[in-house]
Structure 1
Amino acid sequence: MTPGSSSSGDLSGFSMTELFRIDADNQLTTLSEGLLALGSGVDASSVLEELMRAAHSIKGAARIVNVDAAVGIAHVMEDVFVSAQKNPGARFPQSRIDLMLKGTDLLRSVIFDTEPKPTAAEIAEFVRKCGLPADAEESSAPAPTPKPEPAKQELAAQEPQAAEASRSETQTRSVRIGSDNLDRLVSLAGENRITLNRANRFNKEAEEIATVQRSLLISLRGFAETFAGSPQAAEHLEDIRRKIAAAEDLAEQLRLGLDEYSFQISQLGNRLYTEALSCRMRPFADCVLSLKRLVRDLSRSLGKPCRLEVRGENTEVDRDILERLESTLTHLIRNALDHGIEPSHIRDAVGKDPQATITISAAHVSGRLVIRLSDDGRGIDPEYIRKEIVARGLISRVAASTLTFAEVMEFLFLPGFSMSNKVTEISGRGVGLDAVRSTAKALRGTIRVHSTLGAGTTFELSTPISQALARCLLVDIAGTPCALPLARIEGVANIPEEETHYTEGRQHCDWNGQRIGLINAAQVLEFEENQPLTSPLSVVIMSEAGKQFGVVVANFLGEEELLLQPLDSELGKIRDLAATSLMADGSPVLVLDDEDFLLSIRTLAGEGRLRVSKTDKHEDSDVAKHVLVVDDSLTVRELERKLLTERGYEVTTAVDGMDGLSTLREGKFDMVITDVDMPRMDGIELVEKIRANPHFRDLPVMIVSYKDRQEDRERGLEAGADYYLAKSSFHSDELARMVEQFIGPAYQS
């Protein structure tokens, strides 16, 4: 159910309890907002009137549905507000605000039957405190039990409700609709919009038919007039002219009718689609009230005066996203108050307002929902974090010194990573920011940190506006239409192949003054490429943790807002794929999971298996040089394979001399690297057999062995090896340098 006015419309589907809860939810919101406003120093007279009316309405409605606990709580709260109204100009103390907020919490618990349920003793204690004078709340004197009101007063209790109902006639009415039904409605509206797009396509085809028809009619007129010289043809010619004119009028009427029909049905479909989507949307303000309460309570608990400023309260947010945003923003507020904001005496000493400010803003930016939470506290010291991650053994001191600010901030989101030295009720257990990151990922969003030391910190959360919709870039990957969500996309570019370069076997290009690596999307998704790419390369510029790279696709298909269709749960999680959808013309499209996609890229890069994006203009000289590595040690084989693959060489491995000789005969290789001590056939014998074969006589051969004595070297070189390298002392650069010296770089650019 959706809270709202229920004064008119068909309410037959609601029980009295449901109607009571709808009304009570509104009144409880009024109580919370009013009490928080009193705490901020507004004029009390107008606010107290609203508070009294809200408590009175809850009391009367609760009596009707026999929620006796709510009747008693609301009654004593009403007495407190009435008593305060009798003393205009008097201050409503913070202790009273705290007590009334406690009462609001108790009312919500008993009305909505939430856990933990208040005990009778807790309610009795609250009632007792409400009966005490404002300056004697801590006294142990019991408060008089409120007497039941006469039946006449029970009827009078309904009068404010009737007035409230009268005022809300023009407001939005509540209806009950299941979330599954709502999702199906949105899905059907999306399908309807696609059908309308097909109708538009048929309209264009009808226009083309009409154009052809007009051309044929013109030809027919010319044919008829050619034979107009004889008297017998005059009558037939006139008949043809009349039919031609009638056909032209009919074609024009058909075109105009289709245009009008297409416009009207398109407008209707778009309105249906927009209205269906709006049913899923709620204002950001729906989660703000609890955050205001959190800031008030937590700042008082920590002794750090703080106010919350909210911007963009009317920004529309998908209901599913809004439900998860509240806990996420709660984590960030706790983090800001506990870690970011300084005590008031420190703020005063450095010239800051002793009362800190936390600002939350919500807005739609480039088709996405962007939530920013900022504080004006001490900011984040990246050098302190560097020391912490080194001290915890997460990274070496040398590596830490090379991290950018964005990379340093990434450590804040690690599970178990906390900047607090002690565990409290608020923080110190290393949970919070990792939960924020997890929520952002689950919402197909991102979280970023911006901070200035001494000035404050901003967390920026970006998600799709709706979980049902995603603004995507449509691309062709190896003949398959795919959609990339715009969250990670920085831009697109057409890069001529001659402007790409190769470094250690990696292809890269320049974009906006930066050198970025290129990745073939077809390789990442393991799609079979039916034809080579064309130059210029179609490149999607993506970013992750401040780093940019280019994803090479076959072609750009445009940008579109897609209605996402989740994958069948029986399929399980399919790597790199988030959902499916239909494009405007009704064609199916795969929606990629950008997190999975980035993980696949990192995996390929870590294994050194990223290949060059080849086009139909590639020369044979650009094919990777092929190296055969022969060694009985799996560790050594993989080490050498990885070292060479990372530099672009194609590498094949063999487990001993006999396997190596067989592999050499079956393939085409540019160089052989072999060990000496191996079973079945050692490296010396392998080298001798290679040199004995006229096909391999000039093939470069390098021995890499732990045997480092002079006689071992001489024996290997006498067998025909071109170079002898000791395993105990070689470095990756040395191995790669010697391979390049013999056969050149992996690619010729």
Structure 2
Amino acid sequence: MTAAVPPELALLALFRSEVAHHTVVLEEGLAGLKQNPNAVKPLERMKQEVHAIWGGARIVELESIVHLAQAMKESLLALQIHKITLSSAQLDCLTQIIILFHQLAETAVEEIVTWVKGHQAEIERLIVTISGLVAETLTRTELVEQPQNSVALSTQVTDSDNRIITDPALLGLFLSEVEAHTVILNEGLLALEINPSATEQLAALMRSAHSIKGAARVVGLEMVIKLAHLMEDCFVAAQQGKLTFVSEHIDILLHSVDRLTTMAQVVKSGTYQDLTQLSQENESLTVALNSILTGSLSPIPLPVTQSISELMIPKMPPPSLTPAVESISQSAVLVNGNTEFNSPAVRRKALANTDRTVKVTATKIERLMGLAGEIVVSTRWLSPFSESLLALKKSHIELARILEKLQETSEHEQTFFKWVKKAQAKTKECKLFLAEKLNQLDIFTSHTTTHSDHLYHEMIGVRMRPFADSIQGYPRMVRDLARELGKKVHFEMIGKTTEVDQDIQEKLEAPLNHLLRNALDHGIEFPEERLAIGKAETGYLRLEIGHRSGMLMITVADDGRGLDLARLRQKIAQKKLASVEMIKQLTETELINFLFLPGFSTMEQVTEISGRGVGLDVVHNMVHEVGGVVRAVSTPGKGMSFQLELPITLSVVRTFLVTIAGEPFAFPLARIERCLKLPKANIERVEDRQYFRFGNTNIALIDIHDVLDKIQPTYQQNELAVVVISDRLNAYGLVVDKFLGECDLVVRPLDPRLGKVANMSAAAIMLDGSPVLIFDIDDLVRSIDNLLIGKRLRKLDELSEPSPSRRKRVLVVDDSITVREMERKILENQGYEVEVAVDGIEGWNAIRIEHFDLLVSDVDMPRMNGIDLISRIRQHEELKSLPIIIISYKDSKEHRLQGLEAGANYYLTKSSFEDNSFIEAIVDLIGEA
């Protein structure tokens, strides 16, 4: 008999043959690069071959080869995206690496590990050489891109390469000054345009322009100083009554504010060469501002940095730049006592890598400090209380001794009664003492609970900011867009001081922007049209924010033309979204819901402002993402309003708890249509599907155990606990085991290392300390849709029967021999029947010819990659429900998202071979073999 080959030697043999194959391809690619250094195909092919060697080396745990392949791969990638150009030194180094791979492929299997150790010094030298050549070329390229003549800074020092060196602390102060004062300038100018006699605005405008000028002088930005100085002169002249601002003046001044914002953002990014270009463009603004002062205003072409029709809410840096300054300082180099940013790229990276800051008022911090002090004082009460309990314990010990004495002296009557009285006295003493301490403990518990609740709500409040912080740019946007459209609009914002979670504020930016633009473009009529129908020529647009019933309510309303329902019905019919008979029967609310569908628009033509059919879809998606509701109400001829109902904070969610297979789960309350007890007699069937009627609607009935792949119980009770959920198109009734009731839960994000957990959005801890998962309703609805495709579900009034056992088949598709054999052995050891395919085309042919219970696929493969393979399967009528697992070395969020969106059920890395996650994923999808 022949001795069995050890597994590690078998893997090394596969790896050696794989290296031999890939090295041949690498030689061909290098020859092609020598002939044409700009060729793309050889680079891509070489990168794939090195990637395969890198993966195989990781499987057989040859770390030196892994690092060498990684360094070579990075150099090829830099060449591919034109970050560097191929030099003779790099060609020589790549040739030496390929020769080393050749030697490795010719080494005996038993000696590979020893060979790698013996060539360790040479491998490290090649790694350092290739990495150094890439870094040197990148640095040289970056230096060439440095501006040779940058804007003068008063605190700057230039080195031999004439690069800017400035103090980041002063830069941070300048940016914060510009952010704060441009907001005041925008608001003041808009107020002056509405009421030119409001001279009280001029003093604030003059001070803001003066402050920006002073901040710019500190960092030596001459163009900012000049622009701010001219603006200040205009405001002083208006204060002295020498001029009165008209709309043309306001236009020029607002353009100047925009230019100040643009220059601040350019300075923040570190691209000083852009400032030189802006300096040349500023001449027209300077001429325009001078014309205001001289009174010789004439049509002057102003620089346009951004189309008004594309104007979005301006984003400025956070007010507190201290973390950014600290981070920048750590990555800076001191030259002659100054801090130097080595390049614009370094500056941008330093600013981007800083922690995100949030605004917190001093009042909130003081309240938090007060509560923290009260809790500290309260906790110190525990120490004497603990000592008093020790005294009680001593009393109990004495009582026990008295009882022992009683037992010993029970024969002597006089002595007996003496000890009985002592026992009664001691018992009474303990009883009173215990009652007193219990009362103190109740008081302490009550105070501690109150303080902790206050502290908890204050901590939530730290994340809350006045809504005005995020809507400062809306008046300017409405004003500019109305002027572009030729309309007159009075814009009013109500409830600006309402506090909102900063995360929600960020998410609301795009939806509110769309709603306001739609109101201006679709809703409010032109002045002559409004006058003809008896309306005031100036339209009215309102944005209102407030708290109501524990929710954030946002209303965007206008007094325009409203929604033309007949036109809307016509659009729905044109897009074939419903039959003509059904469209006639739709209510107004049902018709309006079509506006929120992707790509739906009532506009006949696409313009720069609207007509693409994406705006209201963005609003709907954002509101549902945070667990809210959006409603629209139209009054033809009088206007239209949109109402957004959102949670006040994302850190706490109101949920409805249920029990499923003995475990608690939580539904976000805002996403539940209703909960009900359904008698079994009300269950009906159509085409082998179960449903029940609620009002005039048929709601499909699904056992949630089928969706979550839980053990299905036998429903013996006469009523079923049903939770109704829905998206825009479908409503489902989910049968759960038991209702537990409503509960506020503090949301805990799932560990990102888990990837996207199917059907779940987050986790929480209940009051008793037990964990609970919170459902992702949209993902849950998608899972139900997939479940209903071609699958026969267990009936709720039938007992489940175990399916006959059958050996399950798995198809493994991977172009790496090492990886294929590794996966085959793992699966066969678990009892599965395994077939393999070497690339996507072979896998596609195999999956259509034979039946498989599961597909395991790589991503990067020749002929057809894994993403294309999965997409074809998901589009195939018979194969689209096949479970699929992707296993790849790529572990970035973008690659994971790409794989899951293509239709994979799991996206794992090849490190999953080292633990049970690979097998657990398979068991989760198709069960054990």
Q: TM-score, normalised by structure 2?
A: 0.53
- The aligned residue for residue 553 of structure 2 is 370
Cα distance in structure 1, aligned partners of 2:203 and 2:676: 62
- The aligned residue for residue 46 of structure 1 is 200
Verify: 1:314 aligned to 2:497, yes or no. Answer: yes
Q: What amino acid is aligned across from residue 138 of structure 1 in structure 2?
A: S
Shift of residue 59, structure 1, vs aligned partner = 1.3
1:86 aligned residue (240, 252, 260):
240
**Contact 2:558–2:639 under 8 Å retained in 1:** yes
Q: What amino acid is aligned across from residue 279 of structure 2 in structure 1?
A: A
Cα distance in structure 1, aligned partners of 2:587 and 2:723: 24
- The aligned residue for residue 347 of structure 1 is 530
Cα distance in structure 1, aligned partners of 2:659 and 2:549: 23
Alignment of 1:495-534 (within 5 A): 495-497=678-680, 500-504=682-686, 518-530=701-713, 532=715, 534=717
**Please, which moves more after superposition, 27-36 or 501-510?**
501-510
For each residue in 1:431-486, what CA deviation from the matched residue of structure 2 results, as whole angstroms up to 9, or x when unmatched? 32233333334434343322222222222233332232211112212322111112
**Contact 2:482–2:489 under 8 Å retained in 1:** yes
- The aligned residue for residue 100 of structure 1 is 253
Cα distance in structure 2, aligned partners of 1:270 and 1:299: 47
Give the 3 Å change call, closer, same or farther, for CA 356–140 of structure 1 in structure 2: closer
**Contact 1:470–1:485 under 8 Å retained in 2:** yes
Shift of residue 35, structure 1, vs aligned partner = 0.9
Give the 3 Å change call, closer, same or farther, for CA 99–256 of structure 1 in structure 2: same
Verify: 1:266 aligned to 2:449, yes or no. Answer: yes
1:584 match: secondary structure: coil
For each residue in 1:631-665, what CA deviation from the matched residue of structure 2 results, as whole angstroms up to 9, or x when unmatched? xxxxxxxxxxxxxxxxxxxxxxxxxxxxxxxxxxx
- The aligned residue for residue 610 of structure 2 is 427
2:262 aligned residue (87, 101, 109):
109
- The aligned residue for residue 290 of structure 2 is 131
Shift of residue 371, structure 1, vs aligned partner = 2.0
Q: What amino acid is aligned across from residue 600 of structure 1 in structure 2?
A: S
Q: What amino acid is aligned across from residue 84 of structure 1 in structure 2?
A: A
Cα distance in structure 2, aligned partners of 1:458 and 1:357: 12
- The aligned residue for residue 574 of structure 1 is 757
Cα distance in structure 1, aligned partners of 2:691 and 2:228: 69
**Contact 2:493–2:543 under 8 Å retained in 1:** yes
1:339 match: secondary structure: helix
**Contact 2:196–2:245 under 8 Å retained in 1:** no
Verify: 1:233 aligned to 2:392, yes or no. Answer: no
Alignment of 1:455-474 (within 5 A): 455-474=638-657
Q: What amino acid is aligned across from residue 55 of structure 1 in structure 2?
A: A
Unaligned runs of 5+ in 2: 1-166, 303-318, 325-353, 360-364, 380-384, 801-929
Shift of residue 71, structure 1, vs aligned partner = 1.4
Cα distance in structure 1, aligned partners of 2:436 and 2:168: 52
Cα distance in structure 2, aligned partners of 1:276 and 1:607: 49
- The aligned residue for residue 593 of structure 1 is 776
**Contact 2:234–2:292 under 8 Å retained in 1:** no
Cα distance in structure 1, aligned partners of 2:300 and 2:683: 82
**Contact 1:492–1:540 under 8 Å retained in 2:** yes
Verify: 1:121 aligned to 2:280, yes or no. Answer: yes
Verify: 1:59 aligned to 2:218, yes or no. Answer: no
Q: TM-score, normalised by structure 1?
A: 0.65
Give the 3 Å change call, closer, same or farther, for CA 105–406 of structure 1 in structure 2: same
Shift of residue 299, structure 1, vs aligned partner = 0.6
Give the 3 Å change call, closer, same or farther, for CA 138–42 of structure 1 in structure 2: closer
**Contact 2:186–2:254 under 8 Å retained in 1:** yes
Give the 3 Å change call, closer, same or farther, for CA 496–66 of structure 1 in structure 2: same
1:303 aligned residue (472, 481, 486):
486
Give the 3 Å change call, closer, same or farther, for CA 592–559 of structure 1 in structure 2: same
Shift of residue 425, structure 1, vs aligned partner = 1.8
Alignment of 1:404-419 (within 5 A): 404-419=587-602
Give the 3 Å change call, closer, same or farther, for CA 268–18 of structure 1 in structure 2: farther
1:44 match: secondary structure: coil
For each residue in 1:362-395, what CA deviation from the matched residue of structure 2 results, as whole angstroms up to 9, or x when unmatched? 2233433232212222222233223223223444
- The aligned residue for residue 873 of structure 2 is none
Shift of residue 46, structure 1, vs aligned partner = 0.5
Q: Which has the higher contact order (CA 8 A, sep 6+)?
A: 1
Cα distance in structure 1, aligned partners of 2:501 and 2:284: 41
Cα distance in structure 1, aligned partners of 2:301 and 2:423: 109
Give the 3 Å change call, closer, same or farther, for CA 87–414 of structure 1 in structure 2: same
Shift of residue 546, structure 1, vs aligned partner = 9.3
- The aligned residue for residue 735 of structure 1 is none
Give the 3 Å change call, closer, same or farther, for CA 305–241 of structure 1 in structure 2: same
Cα distance in structure 2, aligned partners of 1:457 and 1:136: 44
For each residue in 1:214-267, what CA deviation from the matched residue of structure 2 results, as whole angstroms up to 9, or x when unmatched? 9xx99x99x999x89932211211221132123213422431332233233323
1:450 match: secondary structure: strand
- The aligned residue for residue 149 of structure 1 is none
CA RMSD of aligned residues (A): 4.2
Shift of residue 623, structure 1, vs aligned partner = 7.7
**Contact 1:519–1:611 under 8 Å retained in 2:** no
Cα distance in structure 2, aligned partners of 1:318 and 1:281: 4
**Contact 2:655–2:668 under 8 Å retained in 1:** yes
For each residue in 1:76-133, what CA deviation from the matched residue of structure 2 results, as whole angstroms up to 9, or x when unmatched? 1110001111118x64211111111111111122223378867112222212111113
Q: What amino acid is aligned across from residue 262 of structure 2 in structure 1?
A: S
Percent identity at matched positions?
36
Alignment of 1:596-635 (within 5 A): 596-604=779-787, 613-614=796-797
Shift of residue 180, structure 1, vs aligned partner = 6.6
- How many residue pairs match? The answer is 552
Cα distance in structure 2, aligned partners of 1:174 and 1:369: 30
- Counting helix residues as a fraction of each chain, which structure ranks higher? 2
Cα distance in structure 1, aligned partners of 2:264 and 2:669: 43
**Please, which moves more after superposition, 296-305 or 35-44?**
35-44
Verify: 1:385 aligned to 2:568, yes or no. Answer: yes
Cα distance in structure 2, aligned partners of 1:347 and 1:109: 37
Alignment of 1:187-198 (within 5 A): none
1:467 match: secondary structure: coil
Cα distance in structure 1, aligned partners of 2:638 and 2:475: 22
